[in-house]
Amino acid sequence: MNSANSAFYKKDILPVGAFAAVLLTMPFWFEYVGGYSGLDTKIVIWIIFAIGFDILLGYMGFLSFGHAAFFGTSAYFTGLMLLHYSDNILPAIAVGVISAIIMAFIIGFLTLKRTGIYFSILTLAFGEMLHSMVLSTLQDWTGGDNGLTGLPTPMLFGLKMQGDNVFYLTVIVAIVMYYIARRIISSPFGLMLKAIKSNQVRLEYTGVHVARYKLMGFVISAVYAGVAGALMIVYEPYVASEFMGWHLSGQVVIMSVLGGVGTLFGPMLGAAFMLYFENVVSVTIGEQWLLVLGAIFMLTVIFLPGGFVEAGSKIKKKLMGGSK
Amino acid sequence: MINSIFLQFLTGIQLGAIYVLISLGLALIFGTLGVVNFAHGAMFMVAAYLGVVISQAEWGGWGMAIVLVPIILFVLGLAMERGLIRFFYTRPHTDQILVTFGLAIVLQEALKWGFGANNLPFATPDWGSGIMRLHDYLPFLEGFVAYPKWRLILTAVSLITVAGLFALLQFTTFGLVVRAGMRDSEMLRLLGINISQRFAIVFALGVSIAGIAGVWGGPVTQVDPGIGMVFLVPSFLVVVIGGMGSLPGAVLASFIIGLAISFSATIPALANIIVYLIAILILLFRPRGLMGQKGVME
Amino acid sequence: MAILEIKDVSKNFGGLAALGDANLTVEEGTIHSLIGPNGAGKSTLLNVLVGLLEPDVGTVLFKGQPVLGKAPYEINQMGLSRVFQTPAIFDDMSVLENVAIAAYAARDGAYAFNVFETPSSAKPCIDLAKETLNDVGLFEQRKIIASHLSRGDKRRLEMALCLARGPDLLLLDEPTAGMARADTENTIKLLQRISDKGGITMVIVEHDMNVVFSLSKYISCLAQGRIIAEGAPDEMKGNPKVIEAYLGTESEE
């Protein structure tokens, strides 16, 4: 709530600039911390997913256990477009994201009338419904258990979407979407979302059509999931049925909470941590990496509800206190 | 014709009986404590694994498994409530969901570590194996009609459990307090009733019913680390369809779902999603569920 | 001119009549108090007005428009705001943000997809919020998280929140309940000031007769779900029906 616009934009330049700098330089430093090419792209895709999820969970206060529905719907439609229409990624991504939006309107309409607990249960249920549909009911289209295979190499105006090309595409999309998210959060609309988390009843009695704000907040988070789902297919032209499964929904929940919800930065950090943990650290831990991660997750929920971000600010406070 | 309809009906009831066993504890815990236990499926899974281990151990056997598993699960439930859940009553609901979800993952992965990812064979005991020749007892059936004996036993166990729980809630002082707590826990606290001790017992009771489900249901389901999550979703739907916090609702919804699955089985594409379709219809036209109280979670 | 007309409103709770043929007319620009013993139906009446309860029969007209059957946010958008008995505010948000929400709701109506709005276009709303906070005496505390306010300040914040919505009619449910003497005096002054300044009509449910008689231009007494007496404060002082209503329930309380 700055009074001058210039100050407002300055507020965004530093974090978005830093975010861009870290992502854009990733190919140069990532391998020195044990990463490998390709994993960086995946991390960026998950960061996009996590940003949108935080708008819903961290700001609006709704814990969805079915966000795979939007990631997966978009992934399938992107894959189907690449397979049957054109290997150009633009129409494929567009159709993928639009399909996620439509799905979000339907699921949101059915689930958002309810309180937080009900919402979590129902989103999980509808997510699993779509999962079971792609596995059986729609398997002629989706390839069932095997997933959607045989996709062509995605193209963008004659450019093969492989390796670095995909990486820089996803990075650019991520920077733009991070900036958009920051704007949404600091807008009056974002204030309404925070008010929903704080006190829905008061908001209703302040003359605000709470149901519509909830639905739009939900759809916005689904757009992020849809973009992430579509980019995942561009990155690796194969649609796995797990993209619809609760595992994927659970993953975005875990990374967001680990990082610290309601901060945008936290879930992004959580996404990076989780993929790094899954793909790099797991080499040393072995099969039990998910057990360890689950334990870390539980401990975080119990002792550190604010996640890494809270831990960071606590450490910072201590250091500052010590230097005095 | 009459045979196939009867068999579909029986299968529906038998499926419903499994759903009842798994969702009853969930509904009890939610209705009384307002806690959504995402680890409830994992409790079922733990019970099934315990069932396999105890029934096949040299020192054990089926009889011991039937007795021990619900008791172990009761103790586990007590420990879980005292050691974890009770610290979450005053925290946001989402935190309860998150921590039980985390617990579900830990339990699932721990069992995967100990027993591997594959399905463990879980043989029924001799006295429960084989088939039952139904046409011997039911004269309206034509010709030869048989049904696996264990599934009939499972159905009976489920019905007995339901009756037992309802009797406990209806006819004991403990049950009176619990039912009052489902209505208005604030009131009970004001009356000076030690709610927290009863909460622990109710929670343990709910988990213990999942234990009964695991040990009796394990042989007809699978016993693998994914089974908890497989059953969590339909049992949530049972609770939603029946009405959040309503035990009779959960029972009714279980059998409706079981019958719906059984009778739509000839169309596999439909059978896989029929549960969800029912849930959607309920949400659209009767948001509080079949037997949910007006105003509760509406 | 009547701003609010309640006609023959009845509401039963399982055979118990909370309201029975309640009739009430509130004139524009006045401060109108609603008194009566506990259980007289005052809260039920307020709940009907804001859309929380649907009465069994009856009509409610606000500025000539029917209110019943409308969603709470729609009724609020018509210009009717309520201050609840226990302060309903956005606890984990700053004091200024609390009021800003109401200012945006006043400007944008029930819904606006203004996700990219810049601070310069939002400035009038923020200014309104600050001004309203100044009016209720909370300007200095504007950056504090609302949950850290004292109980009296929370109530003031809720008033600011309702006022920033620019209501025509403000419903106040026991605005001084649980307040210390000095705080009560401040609240009386505040309400008087708001009424003098903006000409906002107020309906106050109150037990503290000192508050009722120092503020009200008109008083209605509710007992057993119906209006048993009404009139200017002078007429109501010592009204036997009112005394009877209070005495009649004294033994039960």
What CATH number does the domain containing C2 carry?
Answer: 3.40.50.300
Q: How many Å apart are CA A243 and CA A235, to the nearest integer?
A: 14
Would C224 be classed as within a structural domain? yes
Question: Are C174 and C74 in a shared domain?
Answer: yes
Would C84 be classed as within a structural domain? no
Report chain A's C-alpha Rg in angstroms.
20
Task: Give the C-alpha distances (Å, rounded to integers) separating C230 from C26, C27, C219, C223.
Answer: 11, 13, 6, 12
Question: Are C27 and C93 in a shared domain?
Answer: no
- In single-letter form, the type of residue at position A233 comes to I
Would C154 be classed as within a structural domain? yes
> Which residue of B30, B40, B109, B113 to mutate against A (max A Cβ within 10 Å)?
B109
Question: Are C243 and C124 in a shared domain?
Answer: no
Q: Check residues A99 and B192 and name the one with the higher pLDDT.
A: A99
Bridge partners of C171?
C82, C203
Beta-strand runs (E) in chain C: 2-13, 16-27, 31-35, 57-62, 65-66, 80-83, 169-173, 201-205, 218-223, 226-231
Report chain B's C-alpha Rg in angstroms.
19
Question: Are C205 and C161 in a shared domain?
Answer: no
Q: Report the gap between the CA of A263 and the closest CA in chain C (Å).
A: 15
What would the two tokens of residue A152 be? Answer: 């062509």
Judged by a CB distance cut-off of 8 A, whether residue A114 touches chain B is yes
What is the residue whose two structure tokens read 């994993």? A39
For B73-130, write each residue's pLDDT tens digit.
999 999 999 999 989 988 888 899 999 999 999 999 999 999 998 999 998 898 888 8
Is a pLDDT exceeding 90 seen at residue A229?
yes
Is a pLDDT exceeding 90 seen at residue A198?
yes
What is the residue whose two structure tokens read 């974090």? A15
Question: Are C75 and C176 in a shared domain?
Answer: yes
Instruction: Please tell me what DSSP assigns to residue A161.
Output: -
Q: How many Å apart are CA A49 and CA A252, to the nearest integer?
A: 7
Question: Are C191 and C162 in a shared domain?
Answer: no
Question: Are C60 and C124 in a shared domain?
Answer: no
* Residues A96, A225 contacting (CB under 8 angstroms): no
Is a pLDDT exceeding 80 seen at residue B195?
no
- Per the prediction, chain A carries an average pLDDT of 92
Q: What 3-state DSSP class applies to B130?
A: coil
> Which residue of A119, A254, A256, A301 to mutate against B (max B Cβ within 10 Å)?
A301
Judged by a CB distance cut-off of 8 A, whether residue A6 touches chain C is no
Flag if A4 and C122 touch (Cβ within 8 Å).
no
* Residues C65, C42 contacting (CB under 8 angstroms): no
Q: How many Å apart are CA A53 and CA A73, to the nearest integer?
A: 16
| Chains interfacing with A (3 or more CB pairs < 8 Å) | B, C
Structural domain span for residue C131: 89-166
How confident is residue C250, by pLDDT bands cut at 50, 70 and 90? very low
For B252-266, write each residue's pLDDT tens digit.
999 999 999 999 988
ipTM of the complex: 0.91
The answer for residues whose C-beta is within 8 angstroms of residue A86's C-beta and 6 or more apart is A92
For C36-59, write each residue's pLDDT tens digit.
888 788 888 988 988 888 888 899
How many Cβ atoms are within 10 Å of B50's Cβ, its own excluded?
Answer: 22
Question: Are C107 and C231 in a shared domain?
Answer: no
For B8-32, write each residue's pLDDT tens digit.
999 999 999 999 999 999 999 988 8
What would the two tokens of residue B175 be? Answer: 């049950």
* Of residues A4, A195, A208, nearest to C73 (C-beta): A208
Would C189 be classed as within a structural domain? yes
Residue finishing a domain among C113, C137, C166: C166
What is the residue whose two structure tokens read 């945006």? C104
How confident is residue A242, by pLDDT bands cut at 50, 70 and 90? very high
- Contact list, A190 vs chain C (CB under 8 Å): 115
* Residues A73, A226 contacting (CB under 8 angstroms): yes
* Residues B26, B241 contacting (CB under 8 angstroms): no
C240: closest CA among C221, C216, C217?
Answer: C221
* Residues B73, B208 contacting (CB under 8 angstroms): yes
Which residues of C, range 13-42, sit inside 8 Å of A by Cβ? none
For C3-24, write each residue's pLDDT tens digit.
999 999 998 887 788 888 888 9
Residue A3 confidence (pLDDT): 45
What is the residue whose two structure tokens read 């109506």? C109
Average the pLDDT over each of A137-151, A230-244, B35-49 and give the range with the smallest value.
Answer: A137-151
What would the two tokens of residue C253 be? Answer: 């309380």
For C186-199, the DSSP string reads HHHHHHHHHHHHH-
What would the two tokens of residue B153 be? Answer: 């036993």
Q: How many Å apart are CA C116 and CA A181, to the nearest integer?
A: 10
Counting Cα atoms < 13 Å in the Cβ hemisphere of C79 gives 14
Structural domain tally of chain C?
Answer: 2
Residue finishing a domain among C120, C151, C166: C166
Bridge partners of C59?
C7
Q: Domains for chain A: give ranges and CATH numbers.
A: 5-272 (1.10.3470)
Q: What 3-state DSSP class applies to B157?
A: helix
Judged by a CB distance cut-off of 8 A, whether residue A4 touches chain B is no
For C144-155, write each residue's pLDDT tens digit.
999 999 888 999
> Which residue of B105, B240, B277, B297 to mutate against A (max A Cβ within 10 Å)?
B105
The answer for residues whose C-beta is within 8 angstroms of residue B71's C-beta and 6 or more apart is B208, B211
pTM higher than 0.90 = yes
Would C75 be classed as within a structural domain? yes
Bridge partners of C65?
C62
Q: How many Å apart are CA B144 and CA B136, to the nearest integer?
A: 9
CA-nearest residue of chain C to A9?
Answer: C118
Share of residues in chain C with pLDDT > 90 (%): 44
Three-state secondary structure readout of A224-270: HHHHHHHHHHHHCCCECHHHHCHHHHHHHHHHHHHHCCCCCHHHHHH
CA-nearest residue of chain A to B36?
Answer: A117
Question: Are C127 and C143 in a shared domain?
Answer: yes
Residue A5 confidence (pLDDT): 57
Judged by a CB distance cut-off of 8 A, whether residue B280 touches chain A is yes
| Chains interfacing with C (3 or more CB pairs < 8 Å) | A
Inter-chain Cβ pairs, chain A and chain C, closer than 8 A: 114
Q: How many Å apart are CA B69 and CA B59, to the nearest integer?
A: 15
Would C28 be classed as within a structural domain? yes
Question: Are C26 and C124 in a shared domain?
Answer: no
Residue finishing a domain among C143, C166, C189: C166
Q: How many Å apart are CA A278 and CA B225, to the nearest integer?
A: 19
Question: Are C74 and C174 in a shared domain?
Answer: yes
Question: Are C144 and C204 in a shared domain?
Answer: no
* Of residues C73, C93, C117, nearest to A210 (C-beta): C73
